A = this chain, B = another copy of it.
Amino acid sequence: LVSHPLIAVLEKHGPLTEEEKDVIRQITARVVCFEPKAEIVAEGSVQLESTLLLEGMAIRHVHLEDGDRHISALHMPGDFVDLFSFLLKKMDHGVGAITACKVARVPHKDLLEVSRRFPYLTRAFWFLTLVEGATTRQWLAGVGRKSALERLAHLFCELHCRLQAVGLSERTSFELPFTQEELADAQGLSSVHVNRTMKEMRADGLARMEGKRLIIEDLPALRRLAEFNPAYLHLDQQLER
């Protein structure tokens, strides 16, 4: 059997029973594909299902009234990009595909059923939303209190860690399909300033782009600069049964 991204993610936090794995396979059976730049979930829409990203990268974003955009999360395979819509229903943000994406659509009524019959899975899903919350808090502290260089360094460290956890990063480089404008909207910067900051990073021998790939030249220095501590990602936190 082919490995399932969500099962893989959850098993990092504790073993699943065969029954639980079956349930996950069942509720994620309906797969949909999207072109790059397609809107996967529309801002403001009321959802009846949640979306699990299986392949590709996506962003969570809002458009402000003055035309500005803000990106509140970057997503990769294994991420349940709008799990919270199970309980919150109305999307306060939209989700857009960056690269070509394959997703599974999970009906909320299936999640409701799971939450009634599988307490451990419920806690595990809750846990996933909490990790995302912790990540948002990290971003908030960064945008509020750190320089552009530190923020970008932190973001790269975070992506490096998260991608590594799902087997999508080499030791010193990974696919980074975002434009400078997208990085800017994620970190509350202008695209011009992201550009200058990347130049500085290159000059300092920290990291540089090579096509759509980020090459990390000096990971320890990058982490030091960013004050990066991967604890908030809770990558190997074990959950109680």
Contact = CB atoms under 8 A, between A and B. Distances in A.
Nearest to A227: B65
Q: State the number of copies, please.
A: 2
A181 B146 CA distance: 17
Interface string A200-241: 000000000000000000000000000100011010010110
Contacts of A56: none
A136 B90 CA distance: 16
A121 to B, nearest CB: 11
Interface of A: 62, 64-65, 68, 70, 72, 84, 87-90, 92-93, 112, 115-116, 119, 122-123, 125-127, 129-134, 136-141, 143-146, 187-188, 227, 231-232, 234, 237, 239-240
Given A64-B141, A70-B140, A132-B133, 13 more contacts: A72-B140, A87-B127, A88-B130, A92-B231, A92-B232, A112-B240, A115-B119, A119-B122, A129-B129, A136-B140, A143-B143, A143-B188, A144-B187
